[in-house]
A and B are shown apart, each in its own frame.
Chain A
Amino acid sequence: EDKVVQSPLSLVVHEGDTVTLNCSYEVTNFRSLLWYKQEKKAPTFLFMLTSSGIEKKSGRLSSILDKKELFSILNITATQTGDSAIYLCAGLGPLGTYKYIFGTGTRLKVLA
């Protein structure tokens, strides 16, 4: 059965710290991996990764995919209290499938 596993389950850091969130996946005929940030509302899209070894960046956030080792990491540098959220990782299977396989998320809390 396809699955996505995220670690750690939760993390508490202080403002200014750098964090690395992990996502490993076992998805049949894997096509892409996505990261979302979930606060008290809609999960908001961060990144979609389809190619191995190519880093995607958006401000203080960056992510990379390793298709050989079947994992992805999400880095957040110089964390701020506004980064506190649940970070979700999802895998997408082959063409013709539509369902994202989500991990349970990493709950990040950034203290002032």
Chain B
Amino acid sequence: NAGVMQNPRHLVRRRGQEARLRCSPMKGHSHVYWYRQLPEEGLKFMVYLQKENIIDESGMPKERFSAEFPKEGPSILRIQQVVRGDSAAYFCASSLRQGVLAETQYFGPGTRLLVL
């Protein structure tokens, strides 16, 4: 059973370009979470999605950032008009479900975004 897959693993963009980060959850998982990790900081929650639905985007910057999880295909985190401050590692996690019991989130290897 493949784990959470993310691509690309490394992405270099110039200021003003767009960055698209992809995440395929573990087989059977329908809940996807995106986190951002800045250098020397902990992981910060960005958004939680189920298929075709954004459940919680309270951690997403108000501008330039968007996320989707279509019925078919991977979840995509999109950053428009990137700035240097967007340089970070972006991790995706997935879980089987959300319910009364806390559900373990399994993380992908991350995409390291560098904005020049």
Contacts and interface: CB of A to CB of B under 8 A. Distances in A.
Interface residues of A, number: 24
A42 B3 contact: yes
B45 A99 contact: yes
A36 B42 contact: no
Interface stretch (B13-21, B63-71, B79-87, B97-105): B97-105
B44 interface: yes
Contacts of B40: 104
A98 B33 contact: yes
A20 to B, nearest CB: 20
A98 B55 contact: yes
13 contacts: A31-B102, A32-B102, A41-B110, A42-B4, A42-B91, A42-B108, A42-B109, A43-B91, A98-B31, A99-B33, A100-B45, A102-B42, A105-B42
Interface of A: 4, 31-32, 34, 36, 41-45, 48, 50, 88, 90, 92, 95, 98-105
